[in-house]
Structure 1
Amino acid sequence: MAPQRDSDPIAEKRALRAELRERRRIRSQHERDAATEGLTRQLIALTSTLGPSALSCYLATRDEPETRPFLSWAVEQGIRVLLPVSRDDGLLDWAPYDSDDEGLDVIGMPVPTTELLGPIAVNDVGLLLVPAAAVDRSGMRLGWGRGYFDKTLGSMDRRPPVFAVVYDSEVHDALPREAHDQGVDGVVTPSGILRFD
């Protein structure tokens, strides 16, 4: 779905998010399992190429591309993994991933139950893997509308490489955008890695 001239990006985003949520919701378990296998392979390849000693990622919800097998691999490799924890003020705290236990944050997203670190903890990572509803071929990321990652990415002085994680069908030619939207350096899907200039 490409934005149209003189359109309302807020309404377009809302409609596109609803469509993408529904597509994710009806994805079969077989499709999810195949996507998890491919995505894990691609995330390992990206991380192995970039070689960060620390990275940030997220714990997937039921409908998101699954990240837990990759996170387990990263911890086994000795890579420090930080996961986002939503705050009431619209910012993100971070918590180390230890794969032992999970809870829910203020908006109901899965989070680790380890110590809570402040928003600046993410400044020490060498790779940011962020959730998205979709990404376009210019690198524009469509989030889920709460702005947590746009605020985080927009506030970083030294941004490491940022890659959105989506299903293959969620890479679009163009997406509606607003002034506050933050782009990404690349996208990881179950079938590959796409980098943007």
Structure 2
Amino acid sequence: MAADVSYDKRALRAELRERRRTRPAHVVDTANEGITKHLIELATQTDARTISCYLSTSFEPNTRPFLNWALADGRRVLLPIARQDGLLDWAEGDGETETEGLYGLPEPVGGILGPIAINDADLIIIPASAVDERGTRMGWGRGYFDRTLGSMEKCPPVYAVVFDDEVLPEVPREVHDALVDGAVTPTRILHFGRR
């Protein structure tokens, strides 16, 4: 059973990765504008003063315009740094100054705050390859955000960022997969309810 779910997730990730790779640039640009607008709307609605977000890779929806807005608006931004042991450290970032980290992922340049810094967040924005309307999120397979969210005693609202066609009727789920409260897409903010 677990092997079947794991296989289903790998196959779906490969399909979604290819879809992202072949998405036309003008479609991505328009999508990024909508995502930025909805992330700002979500942060404003939740009155999040400390926001945990991520530095997007080249194939993910672009989070940098949102990060620039958050910093210009006086909000504190926590950005993840992947560790070899499977945990995430955090650093305050400016959304622009970055280096290449583990797995070639972009990470902030600055003082490391350690794994528990995430507990200061009022809103957590995380990457995803897909979500479903039950709040099941599928990441890219390394489990960093699942471990982080699973270890938090009091977790603030968590929203995944995906393209519209990545909100699916059902996403394969394993026991360790953390649920999300909603998703931000180019055209809407979805609220799935509390985990």
| Aligned residues: CA RMSD | 1.3
Q: Is 2:9 the partner of 1:9? A: no
**Structure 1 stretches of 4+ moved >2 Å:** none
Is residue 114 from structure 1 mapped to residue 110 from structure 2 by the alignment?
yes
> What is the match of residue 187 of structure 1?
183
Match of 2:165 among 158, 165, 169: 169
Supply the distance in 1 between the matched residues of 2:40 and 2:146 (Cα, whole angstroms). Answer: 25
Cα distance in 1, alignment partners of residues 95 and 167 from structure 2: 30
**Matched residues, number:** 193
Superposition pairs for residues 20-99 of structure 1, below 5 Å?
Answer: 20-99=16-95
Per the alignment, do residues 115 and 12 of structure 1 end up closer, same or farther by CA in structure 2, a change over 3 Å counting? same
Distance 2:165 2:3 in 1: 23
TM-score normalised by L of structure 2:
0.96
C-alpha distance 10-100 of structure 1, shift in aligned 2 (>3 A):
closer
Measured in 2, the distance between the counterparts of 1:59 and 1:195 equals 23
**What runs of 5+ residues in structure 1 fail to find an aligned partner?**
none
Match of 2:174 in 1: 178
Counterpart AA for 1:171: V
Deviations 1:134-164 (A, max 9, x none): 0011000001110000000000000000000
